[in-house]
Every structure is written in C-alpha cells, then in structure tokens.
C-alpha cells in the first residue's frame, strides 16, 4: 500500500450521500480537494456540495467500479455497501477504511466474533443462523436479552427485547428468515463512545470519550469530555485503538461502549466511519472528525484531537419542523451555539435533519446551552 499522501487537488470518491458525506465534503473543499459522490438519488445532501454526483444504486457493482475508476481514493458514508460493489471499487482505487473492516462490521455476528477473538470486553452473545433454534440461544444467554438482526440494523431497528414471559414470539419471527444475534441485556450506568482515527502509517489518535443519551433508540445528546474514572477513560481509549488496529482500518471509526452498573466497560458496536457522537469535535476539538477522516484517507498527518472546549451536541429530528420552520434566531441567541443543517428536503418524524453544538467552559454549561437552544428552536 502506497503511503504517499494525496495532495490537495486530488479527487476523493464517496459512496453514500447523506449528512456524513456532506460534512466530509465541506472539510475536503476547504482543504482544496475535489469530491465525487455516488448517490441513489439526485440532489442529495452531499451532492449539493460535491464537484460531481453520480446517481446509481450501491448494489450496482459495475456502476461503482466505473465511479471508482475516476477518483484517487474511495471512502464511505456507511458500512452496508454490498461486498461485490466494494470489490469492484477496490479494483480501481484504494478503499478506505478497507474491505476487511467493512466486511466485519457490516454484520453483527462477524463483528461479535471479531471482538471475542481480539479479547476485548464485550456483551455475552450467541449466534443463530436463519431459521435456527432461537429458543436454545435465548436459553443459553439467559433472559432478559436482546435479539438483533445480524445485518442492516441501526437506531434500534431490527431488534426485540426478550424477558422470561415476553418477546419470544417476536424473536422467533425476527429469526425465521434471517440470521440474528442474541445478546445478554446489560444494566446500564451510561453509554459512551470513542471516535478515533488510524492513518496509513498505523498511527492511532483518539478523541475524548463522549457521553451519549438516546431517546427511542436514536442518539439525542452527546457531550465530551465525559467525566470518567481515569482508569475507565484509559481503558476505553486503549480498547478503541486495539479495535482499529485489529480491523487494519484506515480512516475514522467509532467504538460504542456500555458502562454497566458494576462499572465495567463493554464494547457494544463498531462504526467504521465518522459517527453522530463525533459531530461535536467540529467545534470542540483541534481537528474535527471529518477533517481527520480526510487526513487519514489521503495519507496526510493526523491532526491533534486535543479538546478546545467542553462541547455538547443535540440532534435535530424532523419532529422539530412539525409547526413550520424552527425559530433559528432564538436558538442562535444562546451563547456558544453553532447550527449544522444537512440539506434534506423533507422533515419527517425521527429523521436527522441537523444538529446543534454548544461549547462552554464547563461540560454542564455546554449541555444546558445546547438543550436550551433546541427548546428555543421549537418555538
């Protein structure tokens, strides 16, 4: 693998055209790179800013191959790109974070096996093939547990909780025609994540752990740096680095953790790309996660992840538009608040339309500011 950096002026290819691609493109254009995006529909959030938007399905391996032949490197918006398309792209240009990393992380069972083989702390689980004996797996893991589809699940979709006397029928239905994993239910003290980057030279840099709060399985609020015991913070950073190295990943990734009631850190999931909880690094760190992704995939030196100021990020879902355009002047009157909108045309309930970030001298004040700004936006 060549480690010669791609200088500004090179063309970067992006498979995926939502808000992650949009913010990556903003960083790339600022630093003088060209961006081509492949999108299933025209006028996408990324396509609005890219130099070229190619409309094609991610499953169209021929189209993906032609797209990759016209760029210097290919990176991704999300991990669920079909393997045949990734291989077609890799025949023409480097694919970063890497085909192996994507193969492992786009399927929960493969990801769990990888974590077990790596020897990092993770949630106890069992695998069940499509049509397999889900009842035996539930009995082995114990109740309460959570049954999740092995592939193509996000924001709580494709999963069901099973208790001693509830959820069994739903779990059987979920497992009838697709592979699933059964995970022991974890009594949570908190959820957190570590966003990190690994360069072409193998160097890994990590951002401060972020404290994440969810509503209806969708991330609602993140803040960093999270107040953790120093030993816990060190463990989270070390495990994240081990995961990126084990995946041989080049780019930015996020490792999501459970902190259980006994104070143990357990890896929950891996996202081999920038992450919603990392958006606060744009204002809160010396180098934001999207510039960091660009630096990693082009072979530039990785930037500093030092904290500029404590920061909090609040997601803006389509529900906020229920009564018309939100009151942005009221929101932006709150000190230290920044607005990021994603260029999506239709505001639907639960759809991520943008986010607000607030910085402050103390983390509690950053959280207060960002939640106040979002409340004001609602009118």
263-301 in b/e burial notation, b at 16+ Cβ within 10 A? eebbbbbbbbbbbbbbbbbbbbbebbbbbbbbbbbbbbe
The top-level CATH class assigned to 11-95 is alpha beta
pTM (2 d.p.): 0.95
**Among the CATH numbers 3.30.470.20, 3.30.930.10, 3.30.1490.20, 3.20.20.140, which is that of 188-377?**
3.30.470.20
pLDDT tens for each residue of the chain, 379 residues long: 567 899 999 999 999 999 999 999 999 999 999 999 999 999 999 999 999 999 999 999 999 999 999 999 999 998 889 989 999 999 999 999 999 999 999 999 999 999 999 999 999 999 999 999 999 999 999 999 999 998 765 555 688 999 999 999 999 999 988 999 999 999 999 999 999 999 999 999 999 999 999 999 899 999 999 999 999 999 999 999 999 999 999 999 999 999 999 999 999 999 999 999 999 999 999 999 999 999 999 999 999 999 999 999 999 999 999 999 999 999 999 999 999 999 999 999 999 999 999 999 999 999 999 999 999 999 8
Check residue 185 and give its pLDDT. 96
What are the strands, taking DSSP E only, across 16-55? 34-39, 52-55
Check residue 2 and give its pLDDT. 62
Equal CATH topology for 11-95 and 124-184: no
Which residues lie across from 161 on neighbouring strands? 146
Between strands 11-15 and 73-76, the pairing is parallel
Cα(222)–Cα(314) distance, rounded to whole angstroms? Answer: 7
Domain extent listing, the chain: 11-95, 124-184, 188-377
Between strands 218-224 and 210-215, the pairing is antiparallel
Cα(51)–Cα(220) distance, rounded to whole angstroms? Answer: 32
> CB-based contacts of 215: which residues, under 8 Å, 6+ apart?
none
Cα(336)–Cα(55) distance, rounded to whole angstroms? Answer: 38
Q: Do residues 222 and 211 touch, judged by C-beta distance below 8 A? A: yes
**Fold (CATH) for 124-184:** Dna Ligase; domain 1 (3.30.1490)
Task: Give the single-character DSSP code of 122.
Answer: B
Q: How many C-beta neighbours within 10 Å does residue 167 have? A: 19
39-51 in b/e burial notation, b at 16+ Cβ within 10 A? beeeebbbbebbe
> Which of helix, strand or coil describes residue 342?
coil
């Amino acid at each position: 693998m060549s480690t010669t950096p791609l200088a500004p002026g090179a063309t970067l290819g992006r498979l995926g055209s939502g808000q992650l691609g949009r913010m990556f493109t903003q960083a790339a254009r600022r630093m003088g790179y060209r961006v081509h995006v492949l999108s299933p529909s025209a006028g996408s959030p990324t396509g609005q800013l890219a130099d070229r938007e190619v409309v094609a399905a991610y499953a169209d391996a021929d189209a993906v191959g032609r797209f990759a032949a016209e760029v210097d490197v290919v990176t991704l918006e999300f991990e669920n790109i079909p393997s045949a398309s990734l291989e077609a792209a890799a025949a023409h240009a480097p694919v970063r974070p890497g085909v192996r990393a994507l193969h492992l992380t786009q399927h929960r069972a493969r990801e769990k096996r990888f974590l077990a083989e790596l020897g990092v702390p993770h949630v106890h689980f069992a695998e069940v093939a499509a049509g397999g004996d889900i009842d035996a797996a539930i009995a082995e893991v114990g109740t309460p547990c959570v049954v999740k589809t092995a592939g193509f699940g996000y924001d709580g979709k494709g999963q069901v909780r099973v208790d001693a006397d509830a959820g069994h029928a739903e779990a059987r239905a979920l497992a009838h025609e697709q592979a699933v994993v059964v995970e022991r239910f974890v009594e949570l003290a908190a959820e957190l994540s570590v966003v990190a980057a690994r360069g072409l030279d193998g160097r890994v840099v990590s951002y401060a752990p972020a404290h994440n709060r969810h509503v209806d399985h969708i991330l609602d609020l993140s803040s960093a740096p999270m107040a953790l015991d120093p030993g816990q913070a060190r463990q989270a950073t070390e495990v994240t680095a081990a995961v990126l190295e084990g995946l041989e990943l080049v780019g930015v990734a996020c490792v999501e953790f459970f902190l259980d009631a006994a104070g143990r850190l357990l890896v929950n999931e891996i996202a081999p790309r920038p992450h919603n909880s990392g958006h606060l690094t744009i204002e809160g760190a010396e180098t934001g996660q999207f510039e960091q992704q660009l630096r990693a995939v082009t072979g530039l030196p990785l930037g500093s992840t030092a904290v500029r100021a404590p920061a909090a990020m609040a997601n803006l879902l389509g529900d906020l538009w229920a009564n018309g355009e939100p009151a942005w002047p009221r929101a932006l009157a709150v000190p230290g608040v920044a607005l990021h909108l994603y260029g999506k045309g239709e505001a639907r309930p639960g759809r991520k339309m943008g986010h607000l970030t607030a910085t402050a001298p103390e983390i509690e004040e950053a959280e207060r500011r960002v939640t106040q700004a979002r409340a004001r936006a609602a009118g």
